[in-house]
């Protein structure tokens, strides 16, 4: 009995101890939630500090704690473009804000459309006679796109700036697959639909090269025009056309070369830069460290200057990221999720619907689900407008076809009207290892599709016919939307990718403009007066739980190094990670289970994809994700 009593006391002690631990964890979690939420009380007179450690996106993605914990990779910081533009515009007219400060040492970039929108907002701050100051250890193309709009551009003396321009190489695997005896069966329609070329060729086709040269050439011209306008003293021709001579003239000192080439105005470390900001915005009364200055961060500022919601509502649905089947997202365009958001909003008294698209496409079935949901709103006899961001190609254009009017920017990437599927079979590899297939068939399709023994000619023919039918449906939808013939759409289709400027000339886009222009057009079409309407975004609010996870899982000092910080050699190292990520992505696309695809693999890699590629994902996380799906 005495022994049993001791065991009982031990169990009671363990229970009490665990209760105390869980109670402490509960209060710690409650405290974390309360302190993680940004508060307007944190707004101070001084500078608006935009410390952009990550990427500018159309829509923030959800933090996956399981993947983060298993891989050890922190989530990449994401900043919604509309939040940045609103924050900067409000700073222009608020007396509490003396200057806007950009810290771009951890900046990973964003699409040209997004960066130009933020840059134009910075121009409005300068037009209000407020300075904009930028600092970074190293500037790349995207960071320079933003910094060009600053009144003072600083770079660390140990850093520099390099402009590379769009373009580069991608990997081709035809010979590798042949050596491995893997047969990549390609089904496609579209002369320019080069998404499947990495699996069927060892180099770029002449048609793809023609398309890339036109697309990248247009994007590069727009980038140069925007940056030169914002920063006239920049010697861009010298920096980009004679990079070796330019760097050698400064004896290899990239910071001095950046200064001589007009990329930056001043050299200085963080302390020197902070002292300069303090001259304008005031010193920090709570921080006596060298280089401290008074500032307000982005999140509390946004909490303090939340947009007004006057009058009637115009619904805005965001289609951002790859379009996939299921309820994925935000940040990924899950067809089921977005269609549900639209259907739930049918009861809302929206006067118009704006569809904001920033997607290279993806699943045909998911794209059609979204299109049908948009059409159900159009059936209510309200204006439906599409606003294209960086990319609205392939499936991104498919979901745009219900629009009464399509807005895009010259830098928008669109088109890619084509369709494909790729399926690997292993009959040659099996034969090499002494494995063969045999059996009895009652029809040509018995036991098919067979990825080990290979497809019969009938299966190949049926799959190709299905792809051709999908392309015909794509042409039909676009032709009806654009009031053109199918033959006209076929001529500008064939998987070809267009810049926004050319897309407007050939009739795929109606008008230049951003999201605000699209909203204004929709309001006017709905008969609403200025100041008598507001935008209501569907399903885009990320809750406090996700905000807490992001704040707990993100270490700014490590994120800065991983995402964008470092010198030229660190940039090279990150590109190696991106290349490895591209290989992983290409293999996954070949081996994963996918239906027909309206996906623009030809479109330039967007920052979120690049960030994901740079984050190595462990096999344990991949295994766990199978059980989580």
User: Which positions are annotated as active-site residues?
Assistant: 193, 394
Quickly count: other Cβ atoms within 10 Å of residue 383's Cβ. 22
Strand boundaries in 199-265, DSSP class E = none
Report residue 151: phi and psi, to 5°. Answer: -80, -25
Contact 304, 43 (CB under 8 A): yes
> What is the C-alpha to C-alpha distance for residues 188 and 197, in angstroms, rounded to an integer?
10
Distance from C-alpha of 13 to C-alpha of 96, rounded to nearest angstrom: 56
- Print burial letters for 503-530: b (CB count within 10 Å at least 16), e (below 16): bbebebbbeebbbeebbbbbbebbebee
Q: Taking Cα atoms as reference points, which of 511, 476, 481 lies closest to residue 404?
A: 481
Query: What does the alpha-carbon distance between residue 529 and residue 328 come to, in Å, rounded to a whole number?
Result: 37
**Residue 181: DSSP 8-state:** T
For residue 525, give every residue at least 6 positions away whose Cβ sits within 8 Å of its Cβ, in sequence order, or none.
352, 383, 385, 404
Residue 517 CA to residue 427 CA, distance in Å, equals: 55
The DSSP code sequence of 60-109 is PPPP-HHHHHHH-PPPPEEEEHHHHHHHHHHHHT-TTEEEEEEE-TTEEE
The alpha carbon dihedral of 442, 448, 451, 456 has a sign of positive
Q: Which of 536, 517, 537 has its CA nearest to residue 330?
A: 537
Separation CA 252–CA 76 (nearest Å)? 32
CA dist., res. 68 & res. 435, Å (int) = 41
- Please provide residue 424's backbone torsions phi and psi, each rounded to the nearest 5 degrees: -85, 140
**What's the start-to-end Cα distance of the chain, in Å?**
51
Task: Collapse the DSSP code of 32 into the 3-class scheme (helix H, G, I; strand E, B; otherwise coil) and give the result.
Answer: helix
Q: At what angle do helices 112-127 and 206-230 cross, to 10 degrees?
A: 10
Give strand pairing partners of 152.
Answer: 133
CA distance 417 to 476: 11
């Amino acid at each position: 009995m005495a022994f049993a009593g001791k065991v009982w006391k031990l169990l009671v002690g363990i229970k009490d101890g665990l209760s105390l631990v869980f109670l402490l964890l509960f209060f710690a979690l409650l405290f974390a939630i309360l302190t993680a939420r940004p508060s307007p009380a944190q707004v101070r007179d001084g500078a608006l500090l935009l410390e952009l450690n990550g990427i500018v996106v159309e829509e923030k993605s959800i933090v996956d704690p399981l993947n983060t914990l298993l891989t050890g990779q922190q989530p990449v910081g994401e900043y919604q473009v509309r939040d940045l533009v609103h924050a900067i515009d409000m700073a222009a007219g608020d007396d509490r804000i003396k200057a806007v400060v950009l810290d771009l040492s951890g900046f990973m970039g964003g699409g040209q459309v997004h960066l130009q929108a933020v840059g134009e907002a910075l121009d409005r701050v300068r037009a209000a006679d407020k300075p904009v100051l930028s600092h970074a250890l190293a500037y790349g193309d995207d960071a320079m796109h933003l910094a060009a709009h600053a009144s003072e551009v600083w770079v660390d003396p140990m850093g520099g700036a390099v402009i590379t321009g769009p373009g580069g190489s991608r990997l081709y695997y035809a010979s590798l697959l042949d050596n491995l005896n893997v047969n990549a069966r390609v089904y496609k329609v579209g002369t320019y639909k080069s998404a499947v070329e990495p699996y069927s060729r060892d180099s770029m086709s002449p048609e793809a090269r023609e398309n890339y040269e036109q697309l990248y050439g247009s994007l590069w011209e727009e980038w140069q025009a925007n940056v030169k306008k914002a920063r006239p003293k920049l010697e861009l021709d010298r920096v980009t056309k004679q990079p070796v001579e330019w760097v050698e003239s400064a004896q290899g000192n990239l910071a001095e070369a950046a200064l001589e080439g007009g990329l930056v105005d001043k050299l200085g470390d963080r302390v020197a830069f902070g002292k300069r900001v303090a001259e304008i915005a005031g010193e920090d009364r709570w921080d006596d460290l060298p280089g401290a200055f008074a500032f307000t961060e982005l999140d509390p500022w946004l909490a303090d200057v939340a947009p007004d919601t006057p009058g009637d509502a115009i619904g805005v649905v965001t289609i951002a990221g790859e379009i996939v089947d299921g309820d994925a997202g935000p940040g990924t365009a899950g067809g089921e999720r977005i269609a549900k958001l639209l259907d739930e909003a049918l009861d809302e008294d929206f006067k118009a619907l704006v569809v904001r698209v920033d997607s290279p496409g993806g699943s045909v079935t998911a794209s059609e689900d979204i299109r049908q949901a948009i059409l159900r709103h159009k059936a209510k006899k309200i204006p439906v407008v599409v606003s294209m961001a960086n990319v609205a190609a392939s499936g991104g254009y498919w979901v745009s076809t219900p629009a009464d009017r399509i807005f895009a920017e010259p830098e928008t990437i669109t088109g890619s009207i084509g369709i494909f599927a790729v399926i690997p079979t292993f009959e040659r590899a099996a034969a090499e290892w002494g494995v063969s297939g045999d059996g009895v068939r009652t029809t040509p399709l018995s036991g098919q599709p067979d990825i080990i023994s290979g497809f019969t000619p009938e299966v190949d023919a049926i799959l190709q016919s299905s792809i051709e039918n999908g392309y015909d449906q794509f042409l039909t939808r676009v032709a009806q939307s654009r009031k053109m013939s199918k033959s006209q759409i076929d001529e500008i289709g064939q998987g070809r990718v267009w810049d926004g400027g050319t897309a407007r000339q050939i009739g795929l886009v109606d008008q230049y403009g951003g999201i605000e222009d699209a909203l204004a057009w929709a309001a006017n079409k709905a008969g609403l007066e200025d100041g008598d309407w507001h935008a209501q975004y569907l399903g885009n609010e990320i809750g406090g739980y996700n905000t807490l996870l992001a704040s707990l899982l993100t270490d700014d000092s490590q994120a800065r190094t991983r995402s964008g910080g470092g010198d030229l050699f660190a940039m090279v190292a990150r590109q190696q990670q991106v290349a490895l990520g591209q290989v992983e992505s290409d293999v996954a696309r070949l081996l994963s289970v996918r239906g027909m695809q309206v996906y623009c693999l030809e479109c330039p890699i967007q920052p979120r994809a690049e960030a994901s590629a740079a984050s190595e994902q462990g096999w344990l996380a991949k295994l766990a994700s199978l059980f989580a799906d």
